Chain A
Amino acid sequence: MSYAVEMTSITKEFPGVVANDNVTFQVRGGEIHALVGENGAGKTTLMNVLYGLYRPDSGQIKVRGQEVTIHDPHQAIELGVGMVHQHFMLVPSLTVMENVVLGKTPTRFALIDARQANEAIMEISEQYSLAVNPQAKVYELSVGEMQRVEILKALYRGADILILDEPTAVLTPQETTELFRILRGLAEQERAIIFITHKLKEVLAISDRVTVMRNGEVTGLVETRDTDEQELARLMVGRDVVFRVEKSPVKVGEEILRVANLHTVDDRGLPALKSVSFCVRLGQIVGVAGVEGNGQTELVEVLNGLRRATDGSVHYRGTDVTQASPRKRRELGISHIPEDRLRLGVNLDCTIEENLVLNTYYQPPLARSIFLNLNKIEEYSDSLVERFNIITPTSKLPASSLSGGNMQKLVLAREMGGDPDLLIAAQPTRGVDVGAIEYIHQQIIQLRDRGHGVLLVSAELDEIMSLSDRILVMYEGEIVGDFVGGSVSEEELGLYMLGTKRMEPSEIVAS
């Protein structure tokens, strides 16, 4: 049996970590092969080796039976390997067409042959129903569209081995369904698809076979039809994972956050929030469900002082904080886990340590007036690294050296380490492994059990359903549903999320 890709005994070491330890990984043509594993297991590294971004310390790679050495992505592309990275690599100021043809541009008299490029793109996009507008600028696109551009780019370059690194982490359920349809179409054409994800349901839904990694090693290779979530989780984490969240009833306390008639506009100046009112109490987790892009992002930004409210008010513990600065809000005890991890959540060019002290660097004991106490800073950040189990050899490394999931743990450590009175968490478990999800959920619940308030915004219905004491549904900038946690089914919520059903304003008590 010949494989499309055959990686044998690959070892790749970074200073202080063995990211891939004697890994063997094989993919057949025409199969969708899921690659799963804990954060930092080495999935991205392995794929970067295949794509020529990293040179393995040892091991060999065969593509369609031919032994090859891949020095750089150019060569990978020539071999028909395409990769859609965990973090998109498009140039925002260029058009879709320009991005797609970048590096392999049809030219005519040294100018871009726009017509030919457009035609080629339209052909591919029709063939696989990858709907995009070639003339649109990339910064105008939604994440789902950007991803289609990345796939289009890979296909345009002739990829028949396609690597997708956590492609669904940022997609809405609808976009995910759409992506799966595209992937099935590609697999039918005998292309090999390598699919990295942390969502085990997706693994079961789309893949033919699964390779599981842990700590840089392969711990399992199974046929998808012979396995289930429990087994995959066990292979990944090395122990049984509790998928059900244990939550005991807690007496809710006084009101900590009250939002009244809040209005705001998005970046394009269009209304994003229309008269949003609700409140969060101590000892309560309020979940905000909704398809992404229905105002949740703007809501969270307004609550944290990063976006201006055009009307309405926000009260925190009875004081008006509608106009308070981000720092003021933090000092009052409001903490924020942002959804845009790469821009807001971490500073990739700074060290892990520098990232961890963002909220506290100027306060004693970390600083006295303007003078930093570097020893205390080191102690403090090391304690957070340990408490939140951030996997890194030292906190002096740049945050960019962390695996995707460990970056999220860093954000969590910074925002929850100070025991906030009110936690505003947007997509807190995006891109983290099952073990870490369990951990994050426990942390959020403990915070609530200790009598603090939590506002949880998530596109994962499971997460909303299992954590929230109260569930709000947002649709087109409005709150259209308000439920007591546990009193509503997933299907019912779905109807509200899609705008098919909505409550009368009088039914929305939101208190």
Chain B
Amino acid sequence: MKILKGIGDTVVGALPTLLRQVLLIVLAMLVATVILIITGYEALAVYRGLARGITTDIGGTLRWATPLILAGLAVAVAFRAGVWNIGVDGQLYLGAVAATAVGLTLTFLPHPVSLLTAVLAGMAAGALWALLAAFLRVQWGANEVVTTILLNFVAISFTDFLVLGPMRGTGATGTTYSTDNLLEHFWLGRIMKASQANVGLYIAIGLAILLSYLLFRTTIGYEFKIAGTNPWFARYGGISVRKVILLSMGISGAIAGLTGVIEILGVHRRFPGRFSVGLGFDGIVVALLARNHPIGVVVAGLFFGALRNGAMNMERITDVPRAMVEIIQAIIVLAVSAQFAFDIRRQRKSAEEEAEYVAEVEDEMETAQKEGEV
């Protein structure tokens, strides 16, 4: 009874937020409509085309929703702890290339072990790349927004090098370079006919539920929230802010790596160079729209998946250019970021600056403690 009431309360509690986000999208669409009309397009035709694009191809929606949900979860988890992971793209590429490398070299592994090894390798690669940024932050206070962006370039160029060099497949050309196909026992199963939607979707949804549990029902989630909102308060209460930064980035990077792995094993089944079309960036938007709630990320991921896939199909089945949907998308992104910027402005101080300072002091205290133990 009590549990039921608890769930009821949670749903009711989330309603205003949900309503607000839906309103935000409706508003963005209205603005987009006005722009379409002004630019001389028949707005209704665009929406009709989009609707057809979506309804005729549910599988495509799910195919795209999967990486969007995963990337969104990666961003959201770090965000909850007050850390900005803008490096999902880089971590995703490294995860993908690590899984591919396993698939190409450890071909002798039997079926479930093969998949598991590839997945773990990819997650580890993503996590390590993210931890590098986290380490720079806790050790020298380097802003992770900057470092993760820079590390993106490094990671992506590195995969370019691998795919053009040592891992280059037969028949690859300069523009469409790729590795060889992976063996079948490294593939993730497809879940719908004539679509690239794959088991990754279940993994993404399962992960969202798991993360909700982690964030709202464990001491780790509590520490993330406390340190993410007020690092001074966290330190005062004996919570190590550095631990929170490292752990949240590690988890975030592992999920980003998994995103890449699932794109490879579930969709491409080889590593096509530069396969990710802005998944990391879209992940940020998904997380913002979902206000960093894992379950919200699933909903927002499905929404953006539908939009992205619908736009691609629309171009095929009607004569409305895809750019029109991109405008709608861009306006939603703007609206979401505006709302976010507004929230940030209301906060009195940047928790980030504080966290850096706290990390510094903590560092000093730790050295002191070590000296004391000697």
- The B interface is mostly helix, strand or loop, or mixed, namely helix
Chain B residues whose CB sits within 8 angstroms of the CB of A496 once the complex forms:
none
* B145 CB-CB contact with A under 8 Å: no
Closest residue to A92 on the B side, CB-wise? B349
* B275 CB-CB contact with A under 8 Å: no
Closest residue to A351 on the B side, CB-wise? B225
B229 contacts A349, C-beta separation under 8 Å: yes
Query: How far apart are the CA atoms of A307 and B232 in the complex, in Å?
Result: 12
* CB contact under 8 A between A347 and B369, given known A306-B235, A326-B236: no
CB distance from A302 to the nearest CB of B (A): 11
* A325 CB-CB contact with B under 8 Å: yes
CB distance from A209 to the nearest CB of B (A): 34
A330 contacts B238, C-beta separation under 8 Å: yes
A308 contacts B238, C-beta separation under 8 Å: no
* B6 CB-CB contact with A under 8 Å: yes
Interface segment, one of A353-361, A467-475, A480-488: A353-361
Query: How far apart are the CA atoms of A338 and B239 in the complex, in Å?
Result: 16
Among A323, A326, A338, point to the contact of B373 (Cβ < 8 A).
A323
* CB contact under 8 A between A325 and B372, given known A354-B226, A358-B226, A371-B217: no
B235 contacts A371, C-beta separation under 8 Å: no
* B233 CB-CB contact with A under 8 Å: yes
Closest residue to B227 on the A side, CB-wise? A347
A372 contacts B238, C-beta separation under 8 Å: no
B2 contacts A323, C-beta separation under 8 Å: no
Closest residue to B220 on the A side, CB-wise? A370
Interface size on B, as a range, is: 20 to 34
Query: How far apart are the CA atoms of A374 and B221 in the complex, in Å?
Result: 13
Among A323, A338, A357, point to the contact of B372 (Cβ < 8 A).
A323
Interface string of A331-358 (1 = CB under 8 A from B): 0000010100001111111100010011
Chain A residues whose CB sits within 8 angstroms of the CB of B219 once the complex forms:
361-362, 367, 370-372
* A322 CB-CB contact with B under 8 Å: yes
B369 contacts A325, C-beta separation under 8 Å: yes
* A52 CB-CB contact with B under 8 Å: no
Chain B residues whose CB sits within 8 angstroms of the CB of A336 once the complex forms:
236
CB distance from B78 to the nearest CB of A (A): 17
Chain B residues whose CB sits within 8 angstroms of the CB of A343 once the complex forms:
230, 232-233
CB distance from B173 to the nearest CB of A (A): 51
Closest residue to B214 on the A side, CB-wise? A370
Chain B residues whose CB sits within 8 angstroms of the CB of A73 once the complex forms:
none
CB distance from B368 to the nearest CB of A (A): 5
Query: How far apart are the CA atoms of A357 and B371 in the complex, in Å?
Result: 32
B235 contacts A326, C-beta separation under 8 Å: yes
Interface string of B179-191 (1 = CB under 8 A from A): 0000000000000
Interface string of B204-235 (1 = CB under 8 A from A): 00000000000001111110011001101101
Query: How far apart are the CA atoms of A349 and B232 in the complex, in Å?
Result: 13
Chain B residues whose CB sits within 8 angstroms of the CB of A89 once the complex forms:
348
Chain A residues whose CB sits within 8 angstroms of the CB of B237 once the complex forms:
326-327, 358-359
CB distance from B229 to the nearest CB of A (A): 4
Interface size on A, as a range, is: 35 or more
* B365 CB-CB contact with A under 8 Å: yes
Q: How many A-B residue pairs have CB under 8 A?
A: 79
Closest residue to A344 on the B side, CB-wise? B236
* CB contact under 8 A between A346 and B233, given known A372-B218, A375-B2: yes
Query: How far apart are the CA atoms of A207 and B230 in the complex, in Å?
Result: 38
* A305 CB-CB contact with B under 8 Å: yes
Query: How far apart are the CA atoms of A349 and B348 in the complex, in Å?
Result: 11
* B364 CB-CB contact with A under 8 Å: yes
Among A323, A326, A338, A346, point to the contact of B371 (Cβ < 8 A).
A323
A372 contacts B222, C-beta separation under 8 Å: yes
A350 contacts B229, C-beta separation under 8 Å: yes
A354 contacts B230, C-beta separation under 8 Å: no
CB distance from B367 to the nearest CB of A (A): 9
Interface string of B239-265 (1 = CB under 8 A from A): 100000000000000000000000000
Contacting residues of chain B (1-55) with chain A, CB-CB under 8 angstroms: 2, 6
Chain B residues whose CB sits within 8 angstroms of the CB of A358 once the complex forms:
226, 233, 237
Closest residue to A327 on the B side, CB-wise? B238
Chain B residues whose CB sits within 8 angstroms of the CB of A362 once the complex forms:
219
A344 contacts B238, C-beta separation under 8 Å: no
CB distance from A304 to the nearest CB of B (A): 8
CB distance from B125 to the nearest CB of A (A): 26
Interface string of A293-306 (1 = CB under 8 A from B): 00000000000111
Chain B residues whose CB sits within 8 angstroms of the CB of A307 once the complex forms:
361
Query: How far apart are the CA atoms of A47 and B226 in the complex, in Å?
Result: 31
B229 contacts A374, C-beta separation under 8 Å: no
Closest residue to B13 on the A side, CB-wise? A396
Query: How far apart are the CA atoms of A375 and B217 in the complex, in Å?
Result: 11
Among A345, A349, A361, point to the contact of B222 (Cβ < 8 A).
A361
* CB contact under 8 A between A347 and B226, given known A326-B237, A372-B219, A374-B6: yes
Query: How far apart are the CA atoms of A327 and B16 in the complex, in Å?
Result: 37
CB distance from B81 to the nearest CB of A (A): 13
Chain A residues whose CB sits within 8 angstroms of the CB of B368 once the complex forms:
308, 323
Interchain Cβ contacts under 8 Å between A and B, 16 examples: A92-B349, A304-B236, A306-B235, A307-B361, A323-B369, A323-B373, A326-B235, A349-B230, A350-B225, A350-B229, A354-B225, A359-B237, A361-B222, A370-B219, A371-B218, A372-B222
Given A306-B235, A361-B219, A370-B220, 14 additional A-B pairs, CB 8 A: A308-B364, A326-B238, A336-B236, A338-B236, A344-B232, A346-B233, A347-B229, A347-B230, A349-B230, A349-B347, A350-B226, A359-B238, A371-B217, A375-B2
Query: What is B's interface to A at a CB cutoff of 8 Å?
Result: 2, 6, 217-222, 225-226, 229-230, 232-233, 235-239, 347-349, 361, 364-365, 368-369, 371-373
